[in-house]
Structure formats: structure tokens, C-alpha cells
């Protein structure tokens, strides 16, 4: 599911047939629409839920304020929680099953200029850690994927890709897909993409002063850029 129906239909055709639901996940009725589609077209069977839709809109809190925090929370956290709540009964009834939530390395290490994005991704990571413990006994494995920089439509990572010195930092959607599989049916609790990015999270915990010093004054150049419908990356 996503908002652009035409693209969903093209993908379904490429896959040789799939049920598609075109909806904005931040809308009130979206979770119920997905659940109804699964009940009517898939006999209520659901073995893997991937909560991937997300977006980032740069800006310092002093300039973008609560509006930008709310916008991030609505898509990157609230929508995930609401969809999961609507589909949990189907996942339990279909167990063994899995949920994979896509957070971000920014959900473990915050940078300036993307505090709203980090707030939502930190929330998602914390909630996922708890859900992992709660739903295991019900036969649902809950995994977390924390990508670093990945070149996509919404996060083109132009500043990094254009410079030879930083190009190596940028990963691919295929690698994220592998990580999603590992964190879902593969049974892993969490996966960074690329894997060495876990070092950033560990360093933030064991040497926070060092990380603060390294990030001071920065955050404007390599922060994830935009969501699909956001203003272009600058
Ligand atoms: N790329 C990176 O560097 C990076 C790094 C860390 C984490 N992540 C996370 O990875 C996930 C995927 O990001 P991406 O890089 O693939 O971004 P993307 O290219 O912008 O793709 C976002 C996807 O979500 C859908 N979507 C966006 N808003 C939606 C809404 N309101 N309702 C329903 N669907 C919506 C989009 O389709 P429509 O526009 O058709 O709705 C699109 O399929 C996000 O959660 C992002 O935060 C990405």
C-alpha cells in the first residue's frame, strides 16, 4: 500500500498479481481499509507486516516548531501504531507471523536539523523493542530495521552521492530489503543497514561526549532529506 495507485498497480503487475490498497496512512480510515482488503481478498491471512512508509522534512526546532514535530509523528509513528493495532488480530490468527518496523540510525543517534525525524524514529524504535517482548509469546516476531543513508526517491542523498569521499556511506534499497527479511521471517530482533552502522549507536551510548563533539555545528549536510511529497532536498 501507498498513496500513488498507478505505481502500486504497475508493481502488482510486475510481481504477477497482488492486492493493492491506495491510501494515505495518516488518514483516519486507512487502517480499517487495509484490514478489510485483507479479510475480503486474502481470507484474513497476514504473515508479514512491514511498516515502511516514512518521511523527513528538515528543519531546526526554532524555525519549524511543533508543526514539524507533529507532521513527523503522524506518519513515522502514529500511522505505524494505528495500522499495527488494526492488523494485530490477523497477525495473531496467522501465527507464526512477523512485523518489521523501519526506524533509522537517526532513531538511535540524533543530529541537528532533523530532531523531529529523530523523535519519531526514536519513539518507533522504543515501541518496537517493547512490542518484540509482548508479541513473541503470541507467535509474532517483531523486528526493527535501522537504515543509515540509502539513496531512494524520497531520500536521494545527493550531497553524499556526489562526493567521492562520502559515496561509500550510501547503501541500496536491495540491502534494506535483505535486512527486512532478516528482521522478519529471519527472526533477527534488529538490523542496521549497512551493518557497521551499529557502531554509531554503540558509540552514542558508551562515549556520548565524543559523539556530541563530532556532531556539533553539523547536521545540515548529511541529514536524510525529504519524504516523497516534501520540499526538494537542499
Ligand atoms: N532512504 C534513507 O536514507 C533512509 C534512512 C533511514 C530510514 N529510512 C526509512 O525508510 C523508510 C522508507 O524510506 P524511503 O527512503 O524508501 O522513502 P521514499 O522513497 O520517500 O518512500 C516512501 C514510501 O512510503 C510511501 N508513503 C509515504 N507517505 C505515505 C503516506 N502518508 N501513506 C502511505 N504511504 C506513504 C511512498 O509512496 P507514496 O508516495 O505513493 O505514498 C513510498 O512508497 C522510511 O520509513 C524512512 O524513514 C530511510
Q: What is d(CA 229, CA 213) in angstroms, rounded to the nearest whole number?
A: 33
Range 192-195 contact pairs with CB under 8 angstroms and sequence separation of 24 or more? 192/105, 192/146, 192/147, 192/148, 193/145, 193/146, 193/147, 193/148, 193/150, 194/148
Indicate the top mutation candidate among 31, 54, 75, 127 to test ligand 1's pocket, ranked by most ligand atoms within 8 A of CB: 54
Distance (Å, whole) CA 105 – CA 121: 9
Give the per-residue pLDDT at 218: 62
Q: Is residue 182 part of a domain?
A: yes
Residue 213 covered by a domain: yes
Determine contact, residues 146/104, Cβ cutoff 8 Å.
Answer: yes
* Residue 148, φ and ψ in degrees, nearest 5: -90, -120
pLDDT value at position 181? 98
The alpha carbon of 75 and the centre of ligand 1 are apart by a number of angstroms equal to: 10
DSSP secondary structure of 173-222: HHHHHHHHHHHTTT--SEEEESGGGHHHHHHHHH-HHHHHHHHTT--SSS
Say if 15 falls within a structural domain: no
Nearest C-alpha neighbor of 2 from the set 154, 110, 225: 154
Q: What confidence score (pLDDT) does residue 142 get?
A: 99
How far is 176 from 155, CA to CA, in rounded Å?
14
- The response to whether residue 107 sits with its C-beta less than 6 Å from ligand 1 reads no
In this prediction, residue 44 carries a pLDDT of: 93
pLDDT of residue 221: 43
- CATH number of residue 192's parent domain: 3.40.50.720
Quote the distance between the C-alpha of residue 143 and its chain's center.
12
Q: State how far Cα 186 lies from the chain centre.
A: 18
Q: Is residue 231 domain-resident? A: no
Average pLDDT for runs of 10 along the chain of length 234: 98 96 98 97 95 97 98 98 98 98 98 97 98 98 97 93 92 97 98 94 96 80 43 32
Single pTM value for the model: 0.94
Residue 174 sits in which domain range? 48-222
Distance 55 CA to ligand 1 centre (A): 5
Residue 90 falls inside a structural domain: yes
Total domains in the fold of the chain: 1
φ, ψ for residue 86, nearest 5 deg: -70, -30
40 assigned to some structural domain: no
Residue 106 lies in a domain: yes
Question: Which residue has the least CA distance to atom 31 on ligand 1?
Answer: 24
Residue with CA at minimum distance from ligand 1 atom 36: 2
Q: Is residue 158 part of a domain?
A: yes
Amino acid at each position: 500500500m501507498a498513496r500513488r495507485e498507478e505505481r502500486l498497480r504497475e508493481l502488482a503487475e510486475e510481481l504477477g498479481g497482488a492486492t493493492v490498497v491506495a491510501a494515505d496512512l495518516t488518514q483516519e480510515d486507512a487502517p480499517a481499509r487495509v484490514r478489510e482488503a485483507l479479510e475480503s481478498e486474502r481470507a484474513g491471512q497476514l504473515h508479514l507486516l512491514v511498516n515502511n512508509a516514512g518521511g523527513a522534512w528538515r528543519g531546526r526546532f526554532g524555525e519549524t516548531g511543533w508543526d514539524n514535530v507533529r507532521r513527523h509523528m503522524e506518519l513515522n509513528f502514529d500511522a505505524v501504531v494505528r495500522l499495527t493495532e488494526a492488523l494485530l488480530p490477523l497477525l495473531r490468527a496467522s501465527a507464526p507471523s512477523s512485523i518489521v518496523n523501519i526506524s533509522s540510525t537517526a532513531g538511535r543517534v540524533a543530529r541537528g536539523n532533523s530532531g523531529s525525524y529523530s523523535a519519531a524514529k526514536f519513539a518507533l524504535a522504543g515501541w518496537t523493542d517493547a512490542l518484540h517482548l509482548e508479541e513473541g509469546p503470541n507467535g509474532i516476531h517483531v523486528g526493527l530495521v535501522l537504515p543509515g543513508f540509502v539513496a531512494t526517491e524520497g531520500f536521494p542523498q545527493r550531497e553524499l552521492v556526489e562526493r567521492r569521499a562520502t559515496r561509500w556511506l550510501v547503501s541500496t534499497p536491495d540491502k534494506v530489503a535483505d535486512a527486512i527479511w532478516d528482521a522478519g521471517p529471519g527472526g533477527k530482533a534488529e538490523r542496521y543497514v549497512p551493518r557497521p552502522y551499529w557502531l554509531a549507536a554503540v558509540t552514542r551510548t558508551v562515549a556520548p561526549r565524543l559523539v556530541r563533539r563530532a556532531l556539533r555545528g553539523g547536521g545540515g549536510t548529511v541529514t536524510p532529506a525529504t519524504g516523497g511529497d516534501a520540499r526538494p532536498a537542499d
